[in-house]
Amino acid sequence: MCGIFGYWSRARQPLPPQALHAMAQTLVHRGPDDEGIWHQPQRGVALGNRRLSIIDLGGGHQPFVSDDGQVAVVQNGEIFNYIELAAELRQQGVQLKTASDTEVILRLYEREGIGFVRKLNGMFAIAIDDAREDAMYLVRDRIGVKPLYIADDGDTVAFGSEIKAIKALPPANRSQFAIDIEAIHHYLSFNYIPAPWTVHQGVKHVMPGTWMKFTRRAGVQTQRWWRLADQREQDFTYEAWAEEFMATLDDATRIRLRADVPFGAFLSGGVDSSTIVGLMARHVEPPVRTFCIGFADPRYDESAFALQAAQRFGCEHTSEVAELNMLARWPQVLHHLDQPHGDASFMPTLRVSELAAKHVKVVLTGDGGDELFAGYDKYAAFFARPDASSLPQAGFERAYFDSISLFSPEAKLALYRPEWRQRLKGVDSFTAAAKPWFDEARHLDRVNQALYLDMQLLLSGNNLVKPDRMGMAVSIEARTPFLDWRMMELAFRSRGSTKLGPGGDKKHWFKRAAVPLIGEDLAYRKKQMFTVPIGEWFKGESHGWLRDTLHGSELLAQIFERPVIDAMLAQHREGSANFTRELRALVALGVWGEAVVGIEA
């Protein structure tokens, strides 16, 4: 696990070494153990790495460079099947000098070219400099567990694991970092900015399952190398499905225990994290280290369920009662995110990451289970609608999008100041950000279409950002067994009826399959969201902070009509309407934008 960064100049114009070190310094939290930079100033290219040492502590220094000095590689992430891939390479006569998974990437690329990425089972963002082709590759893992941002001003391509690394470069073209008002428009629909957009006009997210190739002759090539939508639903018996599900998840968990440092797990006592911890216990001799935070308010406290799961599997369990009102930590959270996010659960995730970081360098999490197997209440609520199955396809797509949207299109336009309203009235977030994913998934049943949209948008745009950024903020690595490619493909070969059962039973077959491992109490307990009662704070103890932040934000004042925001504040406080999510998104944008001087058109 690391942070990567670098640049590629079309005109072979070198950046000064101090600029590269400035990029590196922005990512020290992602990699506090080591720094390495491969700089070819005569070619105008550099790859850099800040390393969090997890595998081959002594031999895993990056970048890895080929024996002839023509190819250099850096990666952020882990290749979990690197042991098997290394064995294949040795059988082919390849001499490996280290036990590092990054050397495996280098040797595979040397032998097979960029197509090697299909062999990788892991979470990764990879940069490759190939002097033989005078080319640079940027590669992102299948579902976007690891981030990778890019800024291309036409002369120089800069990349980094976080936007702040790109911002560290000399300000030759500051217009790249002007606020992208279309991205804000989409933010108001989703509560996060969906890829490839970012909050900045000139910075984009490399899309999951995609590689980009930069050459001076052919320009930029982009190729999607993996598509979850390539799956076709099959008819399973429950018994056959449960056997494959548990075997796949067990192996996905097993290979994610490969580390040369202490590891543990986040444990809430929900079905996802309990199942992962139960599988970990099969493969670990010492007790599994588990971590949980609780709250004094029982409505938000899952610590009793976490303890129940920990005791069932003989874990060494660490739990702390956290302060409930965490609003003071929001600026810190948003600093690490580099963009506005309206999800309040980033704050408790940072808190449990801090707890775990006192003891381990790696944690396994249950992330991805809800999106793969219909674990959220919103799925049951939408598909309980009488018209959920009878709507025409276009009507279904729009209805589902509307059901998950933060602000409706009409509410967004009413919120904008006149100049922004005029510019954005023709921009439809459904058409721009959601419909392309629905188009890919039309061959799937409607439950799976809804899940596919959330896999592509919610998961990579928000829910995977949470463990990555909050874990990396305190230098721990989060691993997600549910997002093993084999598990994702099985999930989308499974019909929606296996996920959302009679009466809206969420994770229908998953819970049934997990009962022998985790017991009925944990498998079937009512789901609690890992969040905080921010809506109540907005009515009471934190209302003044909310009002002052919304009123004091120059960014919000430039974009939005203050009377509309004030009406939402008043209605929320008096209880005539619940604008928790809307106010949360607006105040997150305001807190993030405190350092923004203005908006450039």
**For residue 140, what is the domain's CATH number?**
3.60.20.10
CATH number at residue 484: 3.40.50.620
| Tally of domains in the chain | 3
Q: Is the pLDDT of residue 200 over 50?
A: yes
Confidence of residue 531 (pLDDT cuts 50, 70, 90): low
243 and 215 share one domain? no
Please answer whether residues 479 and 362 qualify as being in contact, where contact means their C-beta atoms are separated by less than 8 angstroms: yes
Strand order in the sheet with 289-294: 316-321, 289-294, 263-266, 362-364, 477-479
Share of the chain above pLDDT 90, in %: 89
7 and 100 share one domain? yes
Q: Distance from CA of residue 333 to its chain's centroid?
A: 15
541 and 508 share one domain? no
What is the reported pLDDT for 174? 59
Say whether 2 is catalytic: yes
213 and 272 share one domain? no
**Is 424 within a domain?**
no
Closest CA to 101 of 6, 1, 4: 1
CA distance 369 to 506: 11
Q: What is the mean pLDDT of residues 520-529?
A: 83
Please name the residues in contact with 67: beta carbons below 8 A apart, sequence gap of 6 or more. Answer: none
Terminal alpha carbon distance of the chain? 37
Strand order in the sheet with 64-65: 64-65, 71-79, 122-130, 135-140, 210-215, 219-224
**Is 354 within a domain?**
yes
Please name the residues in contact with 53: beta carbons below 8 A apart, sequence gap of 6 or more. Answer: 33, 34, 60, 260, 261
Q: Is the pLDDT of residue 414 over 50?
A: yes
pLDDT, tens digit, 9 for 90 and up, residues 323-375: 767 888 999 999 999 999 999 999 999 999 999 999 999 999 999 999 999 99
What is the reported pLDDT for 525? 85
pLDDT, tens digit, 9 for 90 and up, residues 465-495: 999 999 999 999 999 999 999 999 999 999 9
48 and 167 share one domain? yes
Confidence of residue 598 (pLDDT cuts 50, 70, 90): very low
Q: Of residues 1, 2, 123, 534, which has the active-site annotation?
A: 2
What is the reported pLDDT for 173? 54
What is the reported pLDDT for 172? 58
Sign of the Cα torsion 278, 491, 207, 334 reads negative
| Alpha carbons within 13 A on the beta-carbon side of 305 | 28
> Of the candidates 171, 203, 226, which is a domain's last residue?
226
Domain interval for residue 17: 2-226
37 and 126 share one domain? yes
pLDDT, tens digit, 9 for 90 and up, residues 78-113: 999 999 999 999 999 999 999 999 999 999 999 999
317 and 181 share one domain? no
Q: What is the mean pLDDT of the chain?
A: 94
Looking at the DSSP bridge assignments, the partners of residue 47 are 6, 38
Looking at the DSSP bridge assignments, the partners of residue 160 are 5, 149
**Is 438 within a domain?**
no
272 and 357 share one domain? yes
**Is 436 within a domain?**
no
Q: Where are the beta strands (DSSP E) in 395-554?
A: 477-479
**Is 451 within a domain?**
no
**Is 422 within a domain?**
no
Q: Is the pLDDT of residue 77 over 60?
A: yes
72 and 116 share one domain? yes
206 and 352 share one domain? no
Cis amide leading into 16 (omega within 30):
no
**Is 360 within a domain?**
yes
> Of the candidates 206, 226, 246, which is a domain's last residue?
226
143 and 182 share one domain? yes
> Of the candidates 499, 523, 547, which is a domain's last residue?
523
pLDDT, tens digit, 9 for 90 and up, residues 240-280: 999 999 999 999 999 999 999 999 999 999 999 999 999 99
Rounded (10°) CA dihedral 403, 404, 405, 409: -30
CA distance 427 to 419: 14
212 and 304 share one domain? no
What is the reported pLDDT for 600? 44
